[in-house]
Amino acid sequence: MYTTQMDAAKRGIVTREMEIVAQKENMDIKELQQLMAQGKVIIPANKKHTALDPEGIGRGMRTKINVNIGISKDCCNFDIELEKAKKAIELKADAIMDLSSYGKTGEFRRKLISISTAMVGTVPIYDAVGFYDKEISDITAEEFLDVIERHAADGVDFMTIHAGINRETVRRFKKNGRLTNIVSRGGSLMFAWMELTGNENPFYEYYDRILEIFAEYDVTMSLGDALRPGSINDSTDAAQIEELIVLGELTKRAWERNVQVMVEGPGHMAINEIAANMVLEKRLCHEAPFYVLGPIVTDVAPGYDHITSAIGGAIAAASGADFLCYVTPAEHLRLPDIDDMKEGIIASRIAAHAADIAKGIKGARDWDYKMSEARKNLDWDKMFELAVDGEKAKRYRESSKPENEDTCTMCGNMCAVRNTNKILKGERIKIL
């Protein structure tokens, strides 16, 4: 009997989840097992998440995307968040994180896990304040650990644990200073707790206890980047790199307990720094899968950060990142609505697919070949079927009808594709 997917891989046991992922990724099962045993590929799959359609994250895998949902004190309608989750699954998101930060979230979390075929992630520190109805400084280390265990028992597949921000990394952050300080919500809460209590980060101090919980339920450790840069001015600074070094050490400790790991990364970052940061993470964190927010490549586009993020995400994934956290047009402005969520998902899926082409992922270019073939044949229905967002493509087409069905209103009778096809067939064309 095995304890976790990583334990099974080390023992040479083929799990149901491995079989599904190997088939999806067109990968030999032995190769998959070897990569999992080395920590280079993970399959987040809590033993209690029975609705899960498992996915692999890491080397040789298709780049996956995550969608964030969840209530806040100002927007606390769980029904709307559940609709978002259903829409995210429909739009082929690979993972959904419940980032609820207000009230009693357990019932919603369990409902989400019961219906979600996508991986489900959480950030337990967000839930602690609402669960105990206490100020952050009044929560004890033991209470933080209890919340983690509750999430694991509910069936959460991966959890963001901000264990890399400890007394030493805080000292480095304070010594060097930053323009935008700490922008990670979980990181800022843990920083506040440490400063207000004078204690060490309990996620760092009691990391082995957390690993015991994760191993029992087979929860994947998502090592949170509490000190990720919140502006391009702060990227690749001393605090970010020192935390990354700590995350690499924590990665090895998790692997010793057969706990699967992915490492979270920046944040805001200029384009010319992205590739180097991906190499640095893989080096310092021993090729554990890398999960990035964006990166957002410029700070001046509120309302369009799904675009700034997609630019950075495509470069990051092409350079080695394995998992993209979507960003919506509402980033930095408000809680996203369902339309914002859709735009964020589509932008992230485009970025992920563009990166998969660059990485040479098996079958990635086939999709584009089929679309190009449909365009050459002026097969509009096939184009809509293949499109990332076929609904939008069809709506645009129908909103502006051409004189001839084999053209569009951009070029009309000057359509290059139609006219070239006709000439190659020996047919005459009429432009006027």
User: Any binding-site annotation on 265?
Assistant: no
Q: Are 96 and 85 in contact (CB under 8 A)?
A: yes
- Amino acid identity, position 48: K
Q: Distances in Å between the alpha carbon of 214 and those of 36, 152, 404? A: 17, 7, 61
- Asked whether 204 and 163 are in contact (CB, 8 A), the reply is yes
Q: Is 97 annotated as a binding residue?
A: yes
Count how many Cα atoms sit within 13 Å of the Cα of residue 143 in the half-sphere of its side chain: 17
H or E segment to which residue 380 belongs: helix 380-386
228 marked as part of a ligand binding site: yes
184 is in an annotated binding site: yes
CB 111 within 8 A of CB 146: no
- 121 annotated to a ligand binding site: no
Determine if residue 101 is labeled as part of a ligand binding site. no
Q: Is 116 annotated as a binding residue?
A: no
The encoded tokens of residue 152 equal 């694991």
Contacts of 318 (CB under 8 A, 6+ apart): 354, 355, 358, 359
Binding site annotation covers 75?
no
Instruction: Identify any residues that bridge with 265 across adjacent strands, giving them in sequence order.
Output: 292
408 among the known binding-site residues?
yes
CB 265 within 8 A of CB 291: yes
Check the annotation: does 268 bind a ligand: yes
Instruction: Round to whole Å and give the CA distance between 225 and 231.
Output: 14
Does 185 show up as a binding residue in the annotation?
yes
The answer to whether the CB of 57 falls within 8 A of the CB of 32 is no
Q: What is the DSSP string of 259-306?
A: --EEEEE--B--HHHHHHHHHHHHHHTTT--EEEE--B--SS-TT-HH
Count of positions (residues) in the chain: 432
Residue 68 annotated in ligand binding? yes
Q: Is 12 annotated as a binding residue?
A: no
Spacing of C-alpha 395 from chain mean position: 29
Ligand-binding site membership of 162 (annotated): yes
Binding residues for Zn(2+): 268, 332
Q: Write out the binding residues for substrate.
A: 68, 97, 126, 162, 184-186, 225-228, 264, 291
Annotation: binding site for [4Fe-4S] cluster: 408, 411, 415
Q: Pick out the residues of the known binding site.
A: 68, 97, 126, 162, 184-186, 225-228, 264, 268, 291, 332, 408, 411, 415
